[in-house]
Amino acid sequence: MLTTEDKIQNSITRVFKAVFPNTTNHYDTLFGGTAMQYMDEVAFITATRFSRQKMVTVSSDKIDFKKPIPHGTIIELIGKVTYLGTTSLKVRVDIFIEQMYDDSREKAITGEFTFVAIGDDKRAVKIV
């Protein structure tokens, strides 16, 4: 029987992407809306892997864009469950920038998303 902590650890979700020019804005940095789409997707995968139930996004909390993400870099998105309620849970997603040709790495964006488990009638159900 897995504990909640086991499920949190097992559901940590890491996704890498290359920042190609089709994802950037006119400053040659990753477009904020694209970053938020990536984050919501990783948060959704994390929530689903944690619960193995149908999950929907009900809210996004503050998203901090600390560093611009230049094209020609690699980003890693990491999703982790940070709070478990009755029918809802929260997932924090951090985005790190990695340079392609050296080992440097820094955090660029962080944000939190709330998901609710729903049943076939689309109403909230307990996360089991």
Ligand X SMILES: CC(C)(COP(=O)(O)OP(=O)(O)OC[C@H]1O[C@@H](n2cnc3c(N)ncnc32)[C@H](O)[C@@H]1OP(=O)(O)O)[C@@H](O)C(=O)NCCC(=O)NCCS
- The count of residues interacting with ligand X (CB under 6 A) is 13
The sign one gets for the Cα dihedral 55, 56, 61, 65 is positive
Counting contacts by CB under 6 A, is residue 53 touching ligand X? no
Provide the token pair at 63. Answer: 């998203």
Q: Is 56 in the site for ligand X (CB under 6 A)?
A: yes
Least distance to ligand X from the beta carbon of 25, Å? 25
Asked whether the beta carbons of 30 and 19 are under 8 A apart, the reply is: yes
Q: Is the Cβ of residue 8 or residue 74 nearer to ligand X in the bound state?
A: 8
Residues numbered 57 to 116 that lie near ligand X (CB under 6 A) are 57-59, 85-88, 114, 116
Q: Which amino acid is at 67?
A: K
